Amino acid sequence: MPEGHTLHRLARSLDAAFAGTVPQVSSPQGRFASEAARLDGQQVERAWAHGKLLFVDFAGDQSLYVHLGLIGKWFVLPVDPPGGEPPATGQVRLRLLSDTRVADLRGPMACRLVDEAEVDRLVARQGPDPLQPVSELNDPDAAYRMISRSGKSVAELLMDQTVLAGVGNIYRCEVLWRHRLHPLKPGRSLKRASWQLIWDDLVSLMPLGVRTGTIITLDDVAEDTRASLERGETPDVPREFAVYKRTGQPCLRCGAAIRHKVVAGRNLFWCGGCQRRT
């Protein structure tokens, strides 16, 4: 399932392509046909994301809500030649089409037409999103209050979207390693200062994922990437991690073997040598 940076990056693409325009809205597959007809001819106000939820707001208090789930994908592409209508390939649940851009949605877990009140309810059920500004409605302290009352493992809680929105398996494994935190400790044993380290690190790292489309968690890679972006270059980002999918390999920090365990149905990776803090 895509992590939060992917949804924010996609929202930026959709916003750049369609905000302020009146696209054709259709459902080539047919499963969203009646809702698409209600959106067709309406102006797009903006596209945005919270965690793993994506919204496209239309005029008239109508919003498209999409959750990609495990197999859903959006494809946002130029229309060539402009003004044409590219053929829909595969099972396209929803299509947005302007003279210059087309966006095809395939295989989402959820695709619904909702009003503003339902948008608020959907977001309120999520935890705070490190890619959103801190506010009364996006408060990392609220996440810590849930964590500090729970007997579930820290690793499991970081993947719970009602606790923390947008964080998936790679970010949770890597950020726990970065701060030497044991992933199997119960949430109630996590110190407030340790939670702040996790939150601040996600706030720093996840925007790099939005800008590059690649999860970056190693300091040297992050430093090189920021420098490339500041120079206006397109960074060549290696897909390298400290613990994720490195079972049995030596820890980059202490040399101990990376461990693996399935927690709540997801593969967890950590170093048993240096991840001991609570």
200 by Cβ neighbours in 10 Å (0-12 / 13-18 / 19+) ranks as middle
186 is catalytic: no
* Residue tagged active-site, from 2, 130, 140, 235: 2
* Residue tagged active-site, from 3, 35, 156, 174: 3
Q: Which of 140, 205, 209, 150 is nearest to 179 (CA)?
A: 205
The tokens of 148 are what?
Answer: 């500090």
52 is catalytic: yes
**Start-end of H helices in 103-255:** 116-124, 140-148, 154-158, 169-178, 192-212, 219-230
Distance, CA of 157 to CA of 183 (rounded, Å):
10
Other C-beta atoms within 10 Å of 276: how many?
A: 11
Half-sphere exposure of 31 (CA within 13 A, CB side): 13
CA distances from 94 to 171, 179, 236 (A): 30, 42, 32
Other C-beta atoms within 10 Å of 169: how many?
A: 19
3 is catalytic: yes
* Residue tagged active-site, from 23, 28, 35, 52: 52
2 is catalytic: yes
* Residue tagged active-site, from 112, 180, 266, 277: 266
Q: Which of 222, 119, 206, 107 is nearest to 166 (CA)?
A: 206
Residues annotated as part of the active site: 2-3, 52, 266
